[in-house]
Amino acid sequence: MMRTKRVDLRRLAVGVIALPIACRERGVMKILMGIDGSKFSKSLVRSLVSQFRTEDAEVLALHVLEPVEPVAPPEMSQGYAPELEGQKKPALMLLEGIADQLRRAGFSVKTSVEIGDARETLIERAMTWGADLILVGSHGKRGIQSFVLGSVSESVARHAKCSVEIVRMPVTE
């Protein structure tokens, strides 16, 4: 009688995803989604739903509002940006729309709007929350545009202490 080794094929359609050790011990993968409100956010939702089982994942959808002045003066607390107060409600509405889609698919989802540099905030929040994976979109900027504006997804991928998945929009003709 031939013995076969049992293989988990749950993620075979999109490739093999090796789960971090902490995730295997907890039994749940903590996924931080960086939502920027662009059309790329829809690709993030599709990617998450197609790759992960609902009972194996806990999701935090995070939107970062970036102040005009990147460094707060010493007399102001870090994250204080009164010019962004009017943007908090639309950001929360955006996140709740995405959270509703994910909840309908069966995921456990929390949302958060924070103020700061998107790169630093995503990395710091992933560490404090104990994320196993950061899921971010890519705008596909290249060359001088990427150099001048910077790439949030590239910076997160280089500096995060956990795994990072960059989701690109499908190429349309």
CATH code at 95? 3.40.50.620
pLDDT of 10 strictly over 90 = no
pLDDT of 30 strictly over 70 = yes
Residue 140 in domain: yes
Q: How confident is residue 37, by pLDDT bands cut at 50, 70 and 90?
A: confident
Domain that holds residue 118: 21-168
Q: Rounded to an integer, what distance in angstroms lies between the CA atom of residue 34 and that of residue 135?
A: 6
Structure tokens at 125: 């929040």
Cβ atoms within 10 Å, residue 26:
14
Structure tokens at 53: 């089982």
When mean pLDDT is compared across 16-20, 28-32, 65-69, 79-83, the lowest value belongs to 16-20
pLDDT of 68 strictly over 50 = yes
Q: Between these two residues, 86 and 45, which has the higher pLDDT value?
A: 45
Residue 72 in domain: yes
Residue 4 in domain: no
The pTM of the whole model exceeds 0.85: no
Percentage above 70 pLDDT, the chain = 66
Q: Rounded to an integer, what distance in angstroms lies between the CA atom of residue 37 and that of residue 133?
A: 20
Residue 1 in domain: no
Q: How confident is residue 150, by pLDDT bands cut at 50, 70 and 90?
A: low
Model pLDDT, residue 107: 95
Total of domains in the chain: 1
Structure tokens at 80: 């204080």
Residue 16 in domain: no
Residue 14 in domain: no
Residue 7 in domain: no
Q: How confident is residue 83, by pLDDT bands cut at 50, 70 and 90?
A: low
Q: Rounded to an integer, what distance in angstroms lies between the CA atom of residue 51 and that of residue 47?
A: 6
Chain mean pLDDT for the chain:
77
